[in-house]
Amino acid sequence: MRGKISYQDMLARLEQVVIQNNLKRSKQREDILFVMYETHGHLSPEEILNLARELSPGLGIATVYRTLGLLEKEGLLDSIAFGGDGSKKYELNCGEHHDHLICVECKKIVEFYDDNIEKTQEEIAISHHFLLKNHSMKLYGICETCQK
């Protein structure tokens, strides 16, 4: 989900990552980040490759995977694993947590946030003596359009 954050802010976050890790700011990294910013997320590595190739012709899939791994580790992106096939999709992390509703017919993904669920999760973790790090919640169903 792209929130209020601007592309300039995302570039600044990339700059931070680059500086803090002694990395370099390559066109490929910027272009992949741009694709993630421009589209409203939920893209597979291959979709990202195809979109980013419009900006960086000749871009390789290995670079996409390496960049997605870096940006996820550094918190600029989030990945969502899907049920069956084990493949992942990526979306921009703009600082606001949310969960996903997924249409099993058309594969559309809708984001939502629910305070009640967030609180309850924390309580469940505590009652099982777990130190909660992360969570993922996916609701699978049929969207309004596909019900017709």
Partner DNA sequence: GTAGTTGCAAAGGGTTTGCAGAGGG
Partner DNA sequence: CCCTCTGCAAACCCTTTGCAACTAC
Partner from DNA, its own copies, none contacting 20, C-beta within 5 to 8 A by type: none
Nearer to DNA, 7 or 65 (CB): 65
* String of DSSP letters for 76-123: SEEEEE-TTT--EEEEE--S---EEEEETTT--EEEE--HHHHHHHHH
Read off the tokens for 55: 């900006």
Part of the chain binding DNA (CB under 7 A), chosen from 38-46, 91-99, 108-116, 120-128: 38-46
CB 110 within 8 A of CB 91: no
| CB-count exposure of residue 128 (10 Å: 0-12, 13-18, 19+) | exposed
Distance CA 56, CA 41 (A): 19
CB 88 within 8 A of CB 79: yes
What is the smallest separation between the CB atom of 84 and its own copies, expressed in angstroms?
Answer: 8
Of 10, 13, 14, 29, the one binding DNA by CB under 7 A:
29
Of 4, 8, 20, 22, the one binding DNA by CB under 7 A:
22
98 binds DNA (CB under 7 A): no
Distance CA 62, CA 6 (A): 27
Partner from DNA, its own copies, none contacting 58, C-beta within 5 to 8 A by type: DNA
140 binds DNA (CB under 7 A): no
Of 10, 28, 42, 100, the one binding DNA by CB under 7 A:
28
Partner from DNA, its own copies, none contacting 96, C-beta within 5 to 8 A by type: none
